[in-house]
Structure 1
Amino acid sequence: MTVLNAQHVETAQGGFTDPLFAADLYRFEFIASPIAATDSVRRPGGALLTTHWPVEANGHTVVASRLGAYLDDYYHRIHISPKRLDLGNVVSIQTTPVQLWNAHLTPRTLSSIEGAADGILVVGQPAPPMVFPALKELTWDVSVTPEGQPVLDTVVEWLFDNAETPGVRIAANRIIAWTFVPDWADGIRERLIASTDILQSESAVSQRRQLRLAPRREFSGPVYAEGRERQLLDLSLFGWSDRIWSMPIWPDIQLLDVSLAADADFIPCATQYLDFRDGGLAMLRGEDAFTSETVEILEVLSGGLQLKRNTQQVWPAGTRLYPARAAQLLEEPSLSKLTDQLIEADVQFLVVEACDWPEWLPTSLYRGRPVWDRRPDDSESLTHSAQRLRSTLDSGFAQPLITDTAKRALQMLGQRHLDLGREARALVRSLIYGMRGRQKVVWVPSHMDDLTLVATVSALATTLDIAYIGYTRFSSGKPGRRDVRIELVDGSVFMRRLIGSTELSNQVERVALDSALGVEVQPQQVARISWMNLMRFESDEQEIEHMTDSEGVAAWATVFREERDDEF
């Protein structure tokens, strides 16, 4: 059979055939065609044509919802970046660029900029009102100066004609440098004040809870000011005594080894064991109180300080460099007039920022707890006493009834340490932080000659023959007098628990050890045998007396109090 290739041609009304339109086009939508204008013209021998546009077929309603798109995420609004400026301590003018992007498809009018309080400057574009072009980004420079309210927390807003108010929140503390140097004749006192909640039972068992993450920190010392510096001090206290100061950490002073050019971003200096910190402050001071500069630290490196903002002036070699902290005067300084140009002021500062420091406890352990065995300075008298928990029942008529509820004497032991150099005093501060006020406990030996060895002890022996002191009668194996530290002349140390005793004669007692020493010890080899007690700080307040700067001498005195943690 023969196959013919052909095309079906749709016939129009009146027999007119339009080969320009396909069949599907007649069944669906209207198309504005220039031929439609001629279709209504009667052709010779044909009928009058009638236009039937539009033609619809299979019509139905489609139910749908509009989904979000990138268009909605970025457009039809005004973007601002950044939205928050946390400037910390403002000691000089700090300028930050703020970008606004008009993501509308039409221009907007910026009506005004609101919230620029005292000491806040917004510049970089024409003053409003101004036309903000569509799809364009503009930049303003927002500057915060040290002048103004001491605590800054405000929002700077850009107000547009369509009621949009993009804004940036600014938070900062305005501080000024305390450039008056102390008098070192009586030293500088630093106090670290923790807070501990203690619940103690009648049996002297306690529950201790730390209330502060880091101790408060105070500095006090005398300051002398003469001539123009005295006048500056008078006016500074008059105007700023209740505000925040950038206080130099006086003991951590050092002198620049090399000169520092203006616009420098790095200060070469020593940083180990000093109070520099990332994001903190440092102070450069010249020969008088009028010449100083406070800089912000971006990063503390082993060889110096990387600055957040460059220095503003030249500093020669020998310039004083201090770590600095935000601090406030606890009270108005007491001023003493020495002459008409010279005054003495006793100042006391409270550091108003968190002062973190690495915590440390001794690594040598006894029965699972650290041992603070550093020998104290004995050049001054130290506290060595005991306390009992006495309960008194007194009617006022008969003899009072006094009861020792804990049935034991809790030891009190005072210590004083002299430290030379930065590392030693940094270790003491780390111990204070590690003790967390009165919360933590350590073993503390008395460092006194409490027991006297009178006979050689073999390596396997579990007894010691000591000079008679009444130990069997008064303290045999009782808590508080059962742990000893045996120190030999060569520096060897043994820590043991006494588990019993007996009187051999009125000259010798024999005490039993919980384990042998492992070496033979002769009486002449023993430097001292001291009692040890598990103790905590008696007070939450610890004071360090800086007699000189951090490379010199400092003193720390404290009192330890016995706890019963090892008995339960």
Structure 2
Amino acid sequence: MAILQGLLRAASTGGFTEPQWAADLYTRAVGASPADMQRTPGGAALSMHWPVEANGREINGRRGGSFLDDYYFRVHITPSRLDLGNVVSAQTSPVFLWNAFLGARTLTSIEGLDEGIQVGGQPAPPLLFPGLKELSWDVTVTPDGQPVLDTVVTWLFDNGSAPGLRITANRIIAWTFAPDWGDGIDEVLSALTDVLQSESAVSQRRRLRIALRREFSGPMYAEGRERQLLDLALFGWSDRIWSIPIWPDIQLLQVAIAADSAFIPCSTQYLDFRDGGLAMLRGEDAFTSETVEILDVLSNGLQLKRNTQQPWPAGSRLYPARAAQLLEEPTQRKLTDRLVEAEVRFLVVEPSDWPEWLPATLYRGYPVWARRPDETEDLTHAAERLRKTLDSGFAQPLITDAARRALQVLGQRHVDLGREARALVRSFIYGMRGRQQAVWVPTHMDDVTLLATVSAVATTMDITHIGYTRFSAGKAGRRDIRIELWDGTVRMRRIIGSTEINSQVERLALSSGLGIEVQPHQVARISWMNLMRFESDVQRIQHMTDSEGVAAWATVFKEERDDEL
């Protein structure tokens, strides 16, 4: 007999016997139509109970933000800030506004248009600004207006939106008057050093000014229409920041430059051009000039940030330029009714960096400034003592030398020819950092006379009797010598002892041998050396001609104690 397997169907509540009918029951529970209600097996009707509520309560919350709020329902402006730096000509920058509202908005006005600020590129307000659209404006800043610009240009919309563009700049006017080279141009480099000196003449020196201050001064002549321009420029804008040409660094263009040029071919080595700085082109009079901004200083010329605005023929003057301000009101001296002379003095108001340099030759850990000074004029050579005087006014005063030694003071003057020599002197001044750094300085005088040949390994030398053993005997300040031979060979040694051989000869003991044989006739001079610093923080370079010509620099060195060396 065959066996058949099957399933016994059990009755369900309400007459539902098919498993899939549970889905129908769920459909009715969540909202079935009357027609569906009639489809129930057995004719059982279901009743609806809406709304269903259980344990109702209030819940406090807030709406969370999303990317929608970051981008839409506002007006975006790009960029939001313009830092223009030095404005020497009209500078135009594009500004973009995006209406991120879903509907159109009306631009009612643009506020903050000070003197010298122009906004163009779109019709004047009121202007219908379509939704989800970007428009651009051209914002132009000219040199006219307040010398220091810090303002906000605001676009006002009918719904209260007010995106703003902050503009900062320094407006610079070109000083185009040519100097009179009869007396030259003075360049002053000023440091600030705190020198704390003890009674024993030991000092601690601190640099208080990171960058040297730089000044230029010289006479200016103006005639005819240029005199009228000078008079009005000083009357109205003498307190403004000017773009002054570095007059000694003048050069003439070798080739013509067309208008809208981005490159100026010229010489740049040893001249005061710098990346991000200024340069000035000048014609035959003060009315023909153009100041340009430098993007990169290349070996063969200048790459400009903005193209030139006018053509410049070959032979036009080209200068490096610096932002500067008049330190005092120039006094105009009337020569005729059409000719005046004005002595001007400018302070460079931007950081005026220059490569620092100190001599590579070292002696006892300090550089040696061995450059021979110009001796066409008399040079000073003196000594100072830290004397203290106690004087009651009745008895003889009591004078005491606190340091018990004389500190040497040595004057030097250098006359340089050409750009490289001037650049080297300026780099040395920057390297000395005012009175902070110290270098070994020889007197460049015939201080010691050699009598006998000194072998390569000898550690003594016989000299003409000069009273060294009696008065100095290896004391600091008179124990280091520089031996210079006629062939240019130099040896520097320390004297560690001395003795009198007789009334004509003294013998000096040296710290080490010279390494070469030295005969008396080979010696050009033997000079004392002292560890010295600048006596003053202020150094003056007198440019007698332009940078390819002659300049002079005079300074005074003052001795520092070197007992510990």
TM-score by length of 1: 0.92
User: How much has 1:36 moved relative to structure 2?
Assistant: 1.1
Give 1:513's aligned residue.
510
User: How much has 1:78 moved relative to structure 2?
Assistant: 3.1
Superposed CA offset, 1:304-349 (max 9, x none): 1111111111111011000111111111212122222211111111
C-alpha distance 43-84 of structure 1, shift in aligned 2 (>3 A): closer
C-alpha distance 45-21 of structure 1, shift in aligned 2 (>3 A): closer
C-alpha distance 229-9 of structure 1, shift in aligned 2 (>3 A): farther
Aligned mates of 1:162, 1:407 — CA distance in 2: 84
Q: Does 1:201 align with 2:198?
A: yes
Give 1:116's aligned residue.
113
Give 1:547's aligned residue.
544
* Deviates most, 111-120 or 324-333: 111-120
User: How much has 1:168 moved relative to structure 2?
Assistant: 2.0
Are 2:108 and 2:158, in contact at CA under 8 Å, matched by a contact in 1? yes
Pick from 397, 402, 406 the counterpart of residue 400 of structure 1.
397
C-alpha distance 296-37 of structure 1, shift in aligned 2 (>3 A): farther
Amino acid at match of 1:178: W
Are 1:113 and 1:159, in contact at CA under 8 Å, matched by a contact in 2? yes
Give 1:311's aligned residue.
308
What secondary structure, in the 3-state scheme, does the structure 1 residue paired with 2:412 have? strand
Give 2:80's aligned residue.
83
Give 1:222's aligned residue.
219
Q: Does 1:144 align with 2:141?
A: yes
Superposed CA offset, 1:454-500 (max 9, x none): 00001111011010010001111100000110001110000111011
User: How much has 1:511 moved relative to structure 2?
Assistant: 0.7
Are 1:328 and 1:350, in contact at CA under 8 Å, matched by a contact in 2? yes
User: How much has 1:425 moved relative to structure 2?
Assistant: 0.3
Write out aligned runs for 1:78-477 (5 A).
78-477=75-474
User: How much has 1:241 moved relative to structure 2?
Assistant: 1.4
Aligned mates of 1:298, 1:4 — CA distance in 2: 95
Identity fraction in percent: 74
* Deviates most, 185-194 or 65-74: 65-74
Aligned mates of 1:503, 1:424 — CA distance in 2: 44
User: How much has 1:55 moved relative to structure 2?
Assistant: 7.5
* Deviates most, 58-67 or 253-262: 58-67
Aligned mates of 1:455, 1:2 — CA distance in 2: 141
Aligned mates of 2:39, 2:324 — CA distance in 1: 102
Amino acid at match of 2:425: V
Aligned mates of 1:5, 1:299 — CA distance in 2: 94
Are 1:285 and 1:291, in contact at CA under 8 Å, matched by a contact in 2? yes
Q: RMSD of the TM alignment (CA)?
A: 3.0
Give 2:487's aligned residue.
490
Are 1:12 and 1:18, in contact at CA under 8 Å, matched by a contact in 2? no
Are 1:120 and 1:144, in contact at CA under 8 Å, matched by a contact in 2? yes
Amino acid at match of 1:270: S
What secondary structure, in the 3-state scheme, does the structure 1 residue paired with 2:395 have? coil
Are 1:78 and 1:102, in contact at CA under 8 Å, matched by a contact in 2? yes
Aligned mates of 2:460, 2:506 — CA distance in 1: 10
User: How much has 1:97 moved relative to structure 2?
Assistant: 0.9
Give 2:30's aligned residue.
30
Aligned mates of 2:501, 2:44 — CA distance in 1: 148
Superposed CA offset, 1:13-53 (max 9, x none): 686999798369449x836xxx6142356999835553456
What secondary structure, in the 3-state scheme, does the structure 1 residue paired with 2:558 have? strand
Amino acid at match of 1:476: A
User: How much has 1:358 moved relative to structure 2?
Assistant: 0.6
User: How much has 1:70 moved relative to structure 2?
Assistant: 3.7
* Deviates most, 333-342 or 45-54: 45-54
Amino acid at match of 2:130: P
What secondary structure, in the 3-state scheme, does the structure 2 residue paired with 1:175 have? strand
What secondary structure, in the 3-state scheme, does the structure 1 residue paired with 2:211 have? coil
C-alpha distance 152-546 of structure 1, shift in aligned 2 (>3 A): same
Are 2:413 and 2:553, in contact at CA under 8 Å, matched by a contact in 1? yes
What secondary structure, in the 3-state scheme, does the structure 2 residue paired with 1:428 have? helix
What secondary structure, in the 3-state scheme, does the structure 2 residue paired with 1:246 have? strand
Aligned mates of 1:313, 1:463 — CA distance in 2: 73
Aligned mates of 1:493, 1:452 — CA distance in 2: 15
Superposed CA offset, 1:220-266 (max 9, x none): 11111112111211121111112111110000000001000011010
Aligned mates of 1:47, 1:57 — CA distance in 2: 27
C-alpha distance 4-187 of structure 1, shift in aligned 2 (>3 A): farther
Aligned mates of 1:489, 1:147 — CA distance in 2: 63
Are 1:472 and 1:501, in contact at CA under 8 Å, matched by a contact in 2? yes
What secondary structure, in the 3-state scheme, does the structure 1 residue paired with 2:226 have? helix
TM-score by length of 2: 0.93
Aligned mates of 2:519, 2:351 — CA distance in 1: 53
What secondary structure, in the 3-state scheme, does the structure 2 residue paired with 1:137 have? strand
User: How much has 1:72 moved relative to structure 2?
Assistant: 4.5
Aligned mates of 1:65, 1:446 — CA distance in 2: 85
Amino acid at match of 2:23: A
C-alpha distance 206-47 of structure 1, shift in aligned 2 (>3 A): same
Aligned mates of 1:99, 1:220 — CA distance in 2: 46
What secondary structure, in the 3-state scheme, does the structure 1 residue paired with 2:333 have? strand
Amino acid at match of 1:262: A
* Deviates most, 344-353 or 465-474: 344-353
* Deviates most, 546-555 or 132-141: 132-141
User: How much has 1:62 moved relative to structure 2?
Assistant: 11
Aligned mates of 1:259, 1:127 — CA distance in 2: 41
